[in-house]
Structure 1
């Protein structure tokens, strides 16, 4: 493990940023001191620290903004606005990288390349180009020198996570796994072939749907013959951010309310399919990643951050959606427990009480007044306050819904997620009940019943045989049994102690009444003294335990 006492230039820079922004807890860790429980700075200070530390830590902040199960809402709000404001790399360096990746003279592959980037990010920047065959493309190129910075910062983050993991906070929220999750996500973003595969998978999934017209939604095509881990070449889409849609419509000044509703409905239905049918979704649908094209189509771009949901999680989240619509606190609590780590103890009564408290304020509101993403964040906050560890992909799920709902409300203020989802809920539950192929499900159920009928007589026979031969054993684990056993042991020990004290007093009294010599009188006095001392200690221990009346 890298020692924080042996400071490199990068570590000294981090220490200076922490000192300058005044985070005492991290200052103690970075200087090798001993700290107790983690003490986070205010949301604004944490945001400033991450911005000052640069692109990698901005990415860390963006990851943390997807974990409302770890951080309070004020921190999520502050970190959700983080965007890497980095100057573009010089064209000379970008051109050299491009030449190295293409492995051919650039003028043979491209007719033209715009040296001024159309977008810059913490990992790479994007330039517009035209291929020799006339196709317009976007070139996403990794920033020169970013590998070294990422490697150093990942090492430091893992080291800090190891230090924090020794505290109760670190054990409860498994910060080592969080650091590994961040490292894996960052390494994936560094490899553009991974993002290319994500883009292709999303493009394939959204190319077919019975909920929306796939011709109206596009994901850019990847040109694999030129794509490498450092360079991604993809289809150029001519348009602007959805919130600037009025500026790209040919011959029109403003989108009508009907057009806006059609677009938001298209987006909601596309994302509901991603969440609950495909299980693979775009996790960062902020305004800059949703484009309105000049031909009237909507495009999803930048598939660097994607999320996955397994079938069981999809089923639970679908039921959670219905439970929230019904404002059913008890069902929300049960579903949250199903999502959480099953090895954790749960206070069900407290969990239900917390859900009742957060849902009570929505009792008298109609669906149009309810912000679903806010409810979802509050659900994750309840899990956090009850120390329930939820899968990390739920953070991406909630962030995607929050971003989507935020963009939709800005674009079409009258839209409501519940109204859009309601017609699809019946179809979702039908799919979960019967699957995509009801005949296949029926055959599989028949095979399961056949297996059950064949095995049951044999298993029942084994149980009856063991029962009659008295070899049947039960393995029962009762969580509340250990405190009861400890209480019984304490009571037995005190009873035994009381008997010993009483015996000492009786023995001392017998000796005292028959004392004929000085030695016997002294022995009697010693026994009385010891008995008095032990009796007083026993009384004090009972009083201190608070169980005198129990």
Structure 2
């Protein structure tokens, strides 16, 4: 039974692998497929049928546009990956990040018969037993889940989020393939190792698995509710745990106005300036107090309730800011405000992200220009999210890693600042942020904080000193037992070796073809043996075989795109 499962899994894997390669080649990324030797892993399949050629319609599009279209065609996993990468301009060029922000995962709804089966399995009974009313037409349909409106037996109106059937299997297959491609990228492009392609895919796997497990989202919502339980300006929906599980999330239905619906907000008499302040305060509290923030506060996820209260929806994407990241963020913003480039470099050095080969002189020059660009701006014109993006772009040029949660925060801040300025043209995020940053820096320099940091350092160094004799003893024992070894590995030679193999094979074919032509020509001169049309049959066979080998070699060279 296990063997049959593995065979089925491998067949599914190969089919999906082929469809991914076909789409990449269709959108003009055949050179990338060739550089990674991806088709080499499907050699048998390639001999059976071709995986296609580039679509002529896309040749006039930019690489970023072509890759976005390819991701949209490949479906859920790749759309989600593109959306994640759109928040990482420190890893990809800005043009690609901008293009990936256009990715949408709105798809046709799954028929309710399939949803009904999944809903029954999760709630452990018939829908009519748990709900007084249940609308079979979804109010929203995305690539991972669909949302329905219902009413409980107790009369409470709820929103029911149901995961699409079989979506987990598709995503897991895609992620496994992406991990394989990431490993090939690391082997064939050693210069890209600083961007940690395998780490990016693993982080993406963790993110999308979390997004598909609705119990985790429910726990997140409850945590937000606890964090804001004493804040009347923020409302968090209630979770109905008896009707919530891994594939179904049942929560309070929110009757409110989308924050982007300005005419309706005005018609209801809401104070737009207060709404902007409440929204900004909610995000800043999440980041600088709770260290746990909503990663996707776009206008569709932000509702306004009575009393100018903010209500956030869709908690599938969240970010975390620990104490170290908080301090780095505070130091970064403080250094920009004070025009302190040396402090910026010190922040990077303290974070351990500077590489040995980093050109500090050029980095200092770029950071000076960066600070100058922002130093003269009035506070109300300073966009905190864009500032973080621009800073990340500099780090990208010098191949310096930037924490992924800070990039997610940058995206959230850009969104919130955009919403705030739509609501109130005089909205000033920096003015609200400055006292919180000052408070963070003061807390770090307080006697209590310094003594705690000193105690942690003393404990760390004490542990290191305590282990030192044992480490020395272990080293000496290994030396005495000839178990001490140094592992060396080469990087970047795989492609060279593969190209040399191809070249030697082609030379061998060429020599064989030339030998057949020469041998057949000599046989033709003898006029001995069986004749066909007056020519020796052996010579004709030799010429035919040589023509076949020569044609095969020419086709192989043309298909590789390298004449």
Per the TM superposition, whether the score is higher than 0.5 is: yes
Separation in 2, partners of 1:298, 1:24 = 48
Quote the offset at 1:348 in angstroms: 2.6
Structure 1 SS opposite 2:296? coil
Residue pair 2:443, 2:449 contacting (<8 A) in 1 also: no
Is the CA contact 2:337–2:375 (under 8 Å) kept in the aligned structure 1?
no
Conserved 8 A contact 1:293-1:299: yes
Give the Cα separation in 1 of the matches to 2:68 and 2:165: 26
Instruction: Give the root-mean-square deviation of aligned CA atoms.
Output: 3.1
Q: Confirm or deny that 1:89 pairs with 2:89.
A: no
Alignment of 1:147-226 (within 5 A): 147-166=168-187, 167-208=189-230, 214-226=231-243
Cα deviation code 1:242-284 (max 9, x no counterpart):
101543x5xx62656xx11111111111211211221111111
Partner of 2:245: 228
Report the CA distance between 1:431 and its aligned residue: 3.3
For 1:89 and 1:396, how far apart are their aligned partners in 2? 31
* Residue of 28, 46, 50 corresponding to 1:22: 28
In the TM superposition, what is the alpha-carbon distance from 1:324 to its structure 2 partner?
Answer: 2.0
Distance 1:390 1:287 in 2: 27
Matched, 1:283 2:290: no
How many Å separate the matches in 2 of 1:317 and 1:387?
A: 19
2 CA distance for matches of 1:415 and 1:293? Answer: 20
Q: Tell me the residue number matched to 2:374.
A: 362
User: What residue number does 2:18 align with?
Assistant: 12
Higher mean alpha-carbon deviation, 333-342 vs 70-79, is at 333-342
Cα shift at 1:190? 1.2
Tell me: CA distance 1:344–1:234, structure 2 relative to 1, closer, same or farther (3 Å): farther
Deviations 1:89-139 (A, max 9, x none): 111111111111111222121001111112222211111111101111111
The partner residue of 1:337 within 349, 355, 372 is: 349
Q: Distance in 2 between matches of 1:447 and 1:370?
A: 38
Q: Does 1:387 align with 2:395?
A: no
1:67 to 88, 95, 103: 88
SS of match in other structure, 2:158: strand
Q: CA deviation at 1:203?
A: 1.9
Q: CA deviation at 1:441?
A: 5.5
1:104-115 mapped onto 2 (5 Å cutoff)? 104-115=125-136
2:267 is the alignment partner of 1:253? yes
Q: Deviations over 1:143-176 (max 9, x none)?
A: 0120221121111111110110111243121101
Q: Which has the larger radius of gyration?
A: 1
Distance 1:81 1:63 in 2: 12
> 1:373 aligns to what?
385
C-alpha deviation, 1:303, in angstroms: 0.8
TM-score by length of 1: 0.73
2:208 is paired with a residue whose SS is: helix
What is the CA distance between 1:302 and its match in structure 2?
A: 0.8
- The count of aligned residue pairs is 435
Contact 2:388/2:407, CA 8 A, preserved across alignment: no
Distance in 2 separating the partners of 1:188 and 1:345 = 37
Call closer, same or farther: CA 1:384–1:222 in 2, change over 3 Å: same
Deviation at 1:4, TM superposition (A): 11
1:31 to 39, 49, 55: 39
The aligned residue for residue 523 of structure 1 is none
Unpaired stretches in structure 1, ≥5 consecutive residues: 34-39, 209-213, 460-550
What is the DSSP-based 3-state SS (H/G/I as helix, E as strand, rest coil) of the residue aligned with 1:215?
A: coil
Q: CA deviation at 1:345?
A: 4.5
